[in-house]
Structure formats: C-alpha cells, structure tokens
Amino acid sequence: MSVRVGVLGATGAVGQRLIQLLEPHPDFEIAALTASESSAGRTYRDAAEWRVDSPIPGDVADVTVGATDPESVPDDVDLLFSSLPSNVGERVEPAFAEAGHVVSSNSSNARLADDVPLVIPEVNHGHLDLIEVQRDERGWDGALVKNPNCSTITMVPTLAALDRFGLEKVTVSTLQAVSGAGYSGVTSTEIIDNVLPHIGGEEEKLETESRKLLGEFDGAEVEWHGMDVAASCNRVPTLDGHLENVWTETEESVAANEAEDALRETPGLDLHSSPERLIRVFEDPNRPQPRLDRNIDGGQGIAVGPVQETTDGLQYDCLAHNTIRGAAGASVLNGELLLQEGWV
C-alpha cells in the first residue's frame, strides 16, 4: 500500500523534480501539492511553468494546488517533501512537523540545528535517530529531516569513503551548474561566455555541512568531524551537474589505487532510489563530465575521476546531478529511509 505524500513548493525547480520522481514511485502516492498564494486554488497544470525534461504527469496536472499551511494538507498525508525557499521553510516547516507530518526537506534552513538530522542515507543513516531527541525537545508528533546542499552531497560520499584513512584537511573548488540557482537565479547575460567566481553562502554550507554529516552520533547529539574544510564555489555555464575538484590530506599515507578501491567499495542501500554502488570511478582522466555523466544511475550516482597522489595527499574530481542526487532525489531517498526505518 502506497504512502500518501505531499510536495511543499511544488511549482519551483526542485518541486517539479520531486513530482517527476514521486509520480512513478512504487511506495509513494502524491496526495497534496502546495505553493505560494498566487498559485493556490489553481490546477497544477495552470500554476506551474513546467520545465522538467518530461511531460507533467497526468495524475498530477489537474490536482488543485493548496496554500502552504498545515490546514491545507489532509491529516492522512504523513510524509511531506519540501522544496520551499529557506525563509519560507524556516517559518512553516516546524508548523507542519508540530501538526504531525514528517517533513523531508531540501530547504537550507535548520540544517545545522542540533536536533535536526542532516542525512545522506548511504553515508550517515544512523543520524536519523536524532528524531527522538527532536521530538522530546520540541514536543512534536511529526519530524523535520534535512538533506544537505547540492555541492555538499556531491563531495561528502567520497569523503566518507576516504575517512578510513583519517581525514584531516579538505580543499574543494566547485564548478556548479546554472540550474542550482533556480530558473531565474542567473541571467543569460551573466553566465554565457562567463564564470561567476562566487556563490553566496555556498562555501559556508560545504565547510559546515560536511563536518556535521561525517560526525558521530552518540544517541543524544552529533559531534562534528574534526577535519578542516576550505571551499571556493563557482557558477559555470552548464545546465545540470556540479563538478568539483577535491584535495584531501589524511593521517595515513594513501596510494591512489588504495583510495580508488575505497571509493569503488562504497555500497548503496536497500532503498528504491539508491544505486547498487554509490560511487563510480573512471579510469579516463577526461571524466567525469557533466554532459556525459550527470545521469548515471538515474541521476543518483556519484562519478569520480582517477585519483592522483599529491605532495600532501590526494586529488580527484567528482560529479553529481545537482537537482536529482543534489536536491529532489536526496529528499526522496530520505523519504524512503524514513519509511524503511518506521518513522512514517
């Protein structure tokens, strides 16, 4: 029997990806869509300027969009996927959790809150137990769970694989696709024939979320990983797929082939959307490339190029689809984990 779910912020870029992933999902049934006041009361077909690379699913097109408040969502919709702007999510996501809904959110608000699980299922699924702390502290019947930023999701699975060697320092430079800024986030005159060498807030997200994700949960709190992370984030004129150049320093000396073996051995989870092997390592030094590799494993895989030894450690490139693995698909994976673990 399918779980009835809803999408908060259904008309935006990530909301549309969520609908594309959820509509054919074997475990979820879309039962509620919400958006801004200007969209509420309209059919989804009329409210959404659909831009995803497939038609609007027929079962969703004629659904009436509701307002983004708990009174507009039926009580029997247990699980909500949120792609709200962070300033809106900060205000309304706790209200949905207090009303008894479990919220799997892609929004950036509250990711670093002490009692909010920040989860990549294949990396730190045990952090989901922080929900017990959250419910005790806030008195909620529901819950709020976050997935990290798209650039963080691209890199952290690779760091998790290498942490067996004792990560001490990570430096990353990102080349991030324009879709990460939303439909109107970057104008054509800004990005065509150009690179924007700063993305507001991205460096801080990479530097903090990575440490929380790789931290240790002791049943009461997450002790962040002690590694040092330094990031430089850049917007480049690709449509989808964040490519990142990563340098690591570890306690142990690591050969390139040892690191590649560790990356290849990273398993997926027994979840519908998780790849059998999370990380694919290429031998070709010209890979990964956004156009060639962003859709591996349905956009849920992480692509890594050959690892190189440096004077201080290792260097490699990694790539993920920023609106699937890095956003909507990450929220869906967390929803699958919530269902599997009995939180929904």
The CATH number of the domain holding residue 132 is 3.40.50.720
Given 101, 125, 225, 242, the catalytic residue: 242
Kindly state whether residues 105 and 224 are assigned to the same domain.
no
Do 312 and 173 belong together in one domain?
yes
Whole-angstrom Cα distance, residue 242 to residue 323?
Answer: 9
Share of the chain above pLDDT 90, in %: 96
Let me know whether 165 and 275 are in one domain.
yes
CATH number of the domain to which 291 belongs: 3.30.360.10
Based on the fold, state whether residues 196 and 233 are members of the same structural domain: yes
For residue range 88-118, list pLDDT tens digits in order: 999 999 999 999 999 999 999 999 999 999 9
Output the average pLDDT for the chain: 96
One domain for residues 159 and 97: no
Domain that holds residue 288: 150-321
**pLDDT given at position 325:** 98
Task: From the candidates 150, 233, 318, 321, give the one annotated as an active-site residue.
Answer: 150
- 106 and 244 belong to one structural domain: no
Given this model, what pLDDT does residue 130 score?
Answer: 98
> Total structural domains in the chain?
2
pLDDT of residue 241: 98
Same domain, 119 and 261: no
Q: Average pLDDT of 20-46?
A: 95
Instruction: Render pLDDT for 171-225 as a digit per residue (tens, 0 to 9).
Output: 999 999 999 998 788 999 999 999 999 999 999 999 999 999 999 999 999 999 9
> pLDDT above 70 covers what percent of the chain?
100
Instruction: Collect all residues with Cβ–Cβ distance below 8 Å to 337 and sequence separation of at least 6.
Output: 119, 121, 125, 128, 269, 271
pLDDT at site 51: 87
State the pLDDT at residue 326. 98
Shared domain for 117 and 154, answered yes or no, is no
User: If you average pLDDT over residues 61-76, what whole number do you get?
Assistant: 94
> Residue 182's pLDDT is what?
85
User: Could you tell me if 165 and 305 lie in one domain?
Assistant: yes
Is 198 assigned a catalytic role? no
Q: What is the pLDDT of residue 52?
A: 86
Residue 22 is encoded by which pair of tokens?
């959820």
pLDDT number for residue 204: 97
Same domain, 124 and 194: no
Average pLDDT estimate for 232-255? 97
**pLDDT at residue 4 tops 90:** yes
Same domain, 195 and 266: yes
pLDDT tens digits for range 254-306:
999 999 999 999 999 999 999 999 999 999 999 999 999 999 999 999 999 99
How much is the average pLDDT of 128-137?
Answer: 98
Task: Output the pLDDT for position 81.
Answer: 98
- Whether the full predicted model's pTM is greater than 0.75, yes or no, is yes
Per-residue model confidence (pLDDT) at position 58: 86
Residues 245, 188, single domain; the answer is yes
The pLDDT of 143-152, averaged and rounded, is: 98
